[in-house]
Chain A
Amino acid sequence: MGTTSDKKWEPKIVAFLCNWCSYAGADLAGVSRFQYPPNIRIIRLPCSGRVSANMILDALRSGADGVLVSGCHPGDCHYISGNLFARRRFALLTNLLEFVGIEPGRVNFSWISASEAEQFAQVVKEVTETVRKLGPSTRLVKRIG
């Protein structure tokens, strides 16, 4: 993720996807050849309930321009309620981050099922465009030397 001044800047987005729905949705998007921007780097987790604030902030700290967290639709969680617990945590986190001045749109959440390939492509497009408009992330990015 080195900063390259000579090349045109492209947003880098870290996507935390749950194994059972959103990751499968991303997979289906690929198989179905839905075009979406190549700006996301996917990290697969068992459940959106596994995504902690530490991980999201670590992505920002390491220079990610945006973060997408995506899980199953409420009610469809493979572990019955993982995403319902997570939903409360995410709501509080996103509000807190905006409260300290992180731009709205840096950290995003979505519910995408295994069959929603088109929606997945759509969300990635939307997030990429939002982050592109925001420009490179500077807040909470660790700088050394």
Chain B
Amino acid sequence: MSTLNEKITEEIRSQAERLLSSGEVAAFLGYEAGSLPMTARPFVARKPEDVSRLVWNSFCVLNLSNYLPSLLKSFEPQRRPGEPPPEGPLPKVGVIATGCWSRNIVVQIKENQVDRERVVIVGIPSRGMVSSRKVKDLVNNREILKVIEEDHNLKVSGSDFDQEINRWDVVRDNCLTCVHPDPVIYDILIGNPSGERQVSDRFEQVNDIEAKTHEERWEWFTEAFSACVRCYACRNVCPLCYCPTCFVDDSRPQWVGKSTDQTDTLLFHILRAYHCAGRCTDCGSCESACPVGIPMRLLTKKLNKDVLEMYQSEAGMSLDEPLPLTTYNPADPQGFVLTERSEKGGGKS
């Protein structure tokens, strides 16, 4: 009996092989096995023989669409700024996409970072990815030497322990509160769509923080973000972050200092999250990539909540709808404006 993930892996391989050997795509973006338990590596298959390296499991935590713009660009002939794109069709790239990843591709298409014609999207309805941090916590941070994944359990073992963990207990928080596990755009679908998920309160973590006083919130914020080393892994694994010069690298003016000074670190996180407003799909890459466990996803989740409540919009749900911050409604809530205080409406949390 093979597990669900093994079946999906087989299917990915055969689709990738078909796409690569037919020449339909020049490269196929997926995952291969990592060198440690609970790791998987983004991998670009370029030849049909590469596809045997492709895998699918619960540790494919980074959003593959992050690699799409640069991978597509690598197949374009080099040109100077301002030079028109070359005539004729350019090579295509195949990519695996779960619900949130596919929504990020939609955002990228809308922001002109990805050409829909040049991607072959292999959709996979997501069963949620596992947080290795949660697993480590569950085994009291003992060293994990082996993890065998079954459909509903993880068999975790170390030099002096064996433990069976219910997979759902260690699924990442963003996946636990995800309501759109199915890809919103795809060319090929592997597995069956699971439909919209019912989640009792998808913004529970945000609500908990909102319920605090501002003193408590400040305490939480400074404490939770204090370990940051400014490695920018959260920024660099984010498919939304593609600016040629990030605001943290601006020198004229220099918006934030470069050291791990508290103010500079906090400003970085506020502005990074803010730049994702209306675009973030809560894919959880940032939190998964963070080497020191900072919950920066809560900031984007708060923005997602406000965008949904105030502008009835969720990032990347359709190719037709404009991104919420590129449009407006004359009747948008403005209760936060001093001169409009008498009006009813949202805007205040």
Q: CB-CB contacts of B205-245 with A at 8 A, as 1s and 0s?
A: 01001100011111111100000000000000000000000
Across-interface contacts of B218 in A (CB, < 8 A): 100-102, 139
Q: Is the CB of A100 within 8 A of B333?
A: no
Residues of A within 8 A of B103 (CB): none
A92 (CB) vs chain B CBs: closest residue: B277
* Cα A103 to Cα B263 with chains together (Å): 16
B299 near A: Cβ within 8 Å?
yes
Interface string of B323-349 (1 = CB under 8 A from A): 011111010111011111000001111
Report the Cα distance A127→B341, complex, angstroms: 13
Which of the residues A54, A93, A101 comes within 8 Å of B215, measured between beta carbons?
A101
Q: Would you call B214 and A101 a contact (CB within 8 A)?
A: yes
Q: Which of A85, A103, A112 contacts B339 (CB 8 A)?
A: A112
Pick from A74, A95, A102: contact of B306, CB under 8 Å = A95
Is the C-beta of A98 less than 8 angstroms from some C-beta in chain B? Answer: yes
Q: Chain B interface mostly helix, strand, loop or mixed? A: helix
Contact (Cβ within 8 A) B247 A54:
yes
User: Separation in Å of the B222 CB from the closest CB of chain A?
Assistant: 8
A78 lies within 8 A of chain B by Cβ: no
* A-chain residues with CB within 8 Å of residue B266 when the two chains form the complex: 100, 140
B257: CB under 8 A from chain A? yes
For A126, what are the chain B residues with a Cβ–Cβ distance below 8 Å? 338
B217 touches A141 (CB 8 A): no
Max chain A Cβ within 10 angstroms of own Cβ: one of B299, B328, B349: B328
* Chain B CB within 8 A of A115 CB: no
Task: Give every chain B residue within 8 A of A96 (Cβ-Cβ).
Answer: 270, 273-274, 277, 299, 302-303, 306
A94–B255 contact, CB under 8 A? no
Contact with B along A82-114 (1 / 0, CB 8 A): 001101111111111111111110001111100
Q: A88-B332, A95-B348 are in contact. Are A140 and B338 (CB under 8 A)?
A: no
Complex Cα gap A4–B22 (Å): 74
Q: State whether the Cβ of A8 lies closer than 8 Å to any Cβ in chain B.
A: no
Q: Is the CB of B338 within 8 A of A58?
A: no
The chain A residue with its CB closest to the CB of B213 is A101
A68 to B, closest residue via Cβ: B338
- Residues of chain A within 8 A of B307, CB atoms compared: 92
| Interface pairs (16), CB distance under 8 Å | A57-B255, A57-B271, A74-B330, A85-B326, A89-B325, A91-B333, A92-B303, A95-B347, A95-B348, A98-B214, A99-B206, A101-B218, A101-B220, A109-B336, A142-B261, A142-B264
What would 6 more interface pairs be, CB under 8 Å, given A91-B306, A104-B214, A108-B338? A96-B306, A100-B218, A100-B221, A101-B214, A109-B337, A111-B340
B residues with CB within 8 A of A: 206, 209-210, 214-222, 247, 253, 255-257, 261, 263-264, 266-267, 270-271, 273-274, 277-278, 299, 302-303, 306-307, 310-311, 324-328, 330, 332-334, 336-340, 346-349
Spell out A's residues near B (CB within 8 Å). 53-54, 57-58, 61, 74-75, 81, 84-85, 87-104, 108-112, 119, 123, 126-127, 139-143
What 5 A-B pairs are tightest by C-beta distance, nearest first?
Answer: A101-B218, A101-B217, A84-B328, A100-B221, A110-B338
